[in-house]
Amino acid sequence: MLGEIAKELTGKRKVVLVHGNADMDAMGSAYAISKAFPDADIFAPNGIDRITKVVVDKLDVKFLENCDISTYEQVIVVDTSSPEQLEMDQTVPDDAVVIDHHSITGKWDHIRHFHCEEGRTSCCEIVKDLLDTAGIEITRDMGLMLLGGMITDSGHFQFAKPELLLAFSDIMTRCGIDMDEAFDLTKAQPSMSEKIAMLKAIERTKFDRIGNYIVATSYGGSFEASSCRAIMGAGADVVFVGSQREDEFRLSARATQEVVRKGVHLGDIMKCISGETMTDGGGHGGAAGISGIGDVEAMLHICMKKTMEIFREIKAKDVLEKDRA
């Protein structure tokens, strides 16, 4: 499939799309593709996140904030599990190329060239494989952007699988990049508004527990992912933080690797809830999100309930294993 995609991307005027509030995995993937297959623009329909902005400023990466995708011969979508996550009012054509690593939602079924590897920690790994399959050299800036995506999507290697570490090491060796340089690239101090958002989220936190496991929910106006990490730092095993903008909500979720190993999969939880509520959700075992039309507090309650059910199953299994021992 990657060989076919490489042929599809050759010799056409292209635009690479990334999801709303694009992270480093999305932008790193898009940048590498745009440089490997020239005459390509990057389009971020609904902006980029704070860490990504720091990186693109350091490396002077250009991207479009407004764009008519119908003027391009080829459309590529990276690191995006559904069309809704692009947060734009344009339709992705059926002959587009989609490269992703999230749980398959079925919302790209109409796309002719859809390549998804759910087992990968980052989309940047798949893009590296694409470039290697096509025999394209990875330049130093391309390498830095790919490494940035791998670092952030693996939670600074907390969620890394062996395949990511091998790909990371290979890029470091081939591009002459030291570890401190790769880490410094994505380093940014939280702004005052982010600090305040995290403190407010902690103040508004509600939680419940089953045995030794704690699930927490909170809401705020922004920085949902950072707020999740702050509440996890306070002791929660699973955290859901949401925000409300008029009739639309957005919710981020994070879980510790311990409970993921025990059986919690946030991507599956979000996918299940989105199917029940006609919203858009998905993600990975330890990090996921959901958005759509609805009430954020109601959605947080549903997330809490679903997680508690899983915690009960984990507790019952733990008790059974203890009795057998």
On whether the CB atoms of residues 18 and 46 are closer than 8 A, the answer is no
How far lies 78's CA from each of 4, 16, 103, 135, in Å? Answer: 16, 7, 14, 20
246: DSSP letter? T
pLDDT value of position 317? 86
Residues 153 and 24 in one domain: yes
Number of domains in the chain: 2
What tokens does 67 get? 């764009």
Question: In terms of domains, do 157 and 53 share one?
Answer: yes
Per-residue exposure over 121-139, b if at least 16 CB sit within 10 Å of its own CB, e if not: bbbbbbbbbbbeebebebe
> In this structure, are 113 and 206 located in the same domain?
no
Domain that holds residue 298: 192-324
Query: How much is the pLDDT for 105?
Result: 85
Identify whether residues 269 and 142 lie together within a single domain.
no
**87: CB partners within 8 A, 6+ apart:** 19, 20, 45, 46
**Cα 270 to Cα 158: distance, rounded to the nearest angstrom:** 21
CATH number at residue 59: 3.90.1640.10
Reported pTM:
0.80
pLDDT value of residue 55: 95
Contact between 105 and 81 under an 8 Å Cβ cutoff? The reply is yes
The Cα 49–Cα 179 span in angstroms is 23
- pLDDT < 70 positions in the chain: 325
- Distance (Å, rounded) from C-alpha 135 to C-alpha 131? 6
Burial class (CB in 10 A: 0-12, 13-18, 19+), 244: middle
Q: Do 105 and 213 fall into the same domain?
A: no
82 and 6 share one domain? yes
**pLDDT of the residue at 221:** 75
Contact 312, 293 (CB under 8 A): no
Q: Which residue, of 146, 169, 185, is where some domain finishes?
A: 185
Residue 152 gets the label, from left (phi > 0), alpha (psi -120 to 50) or beta, of alpha
Identify the pLDDT of residue 61: 95
CATH of the domain at 305: 3.10.310.40
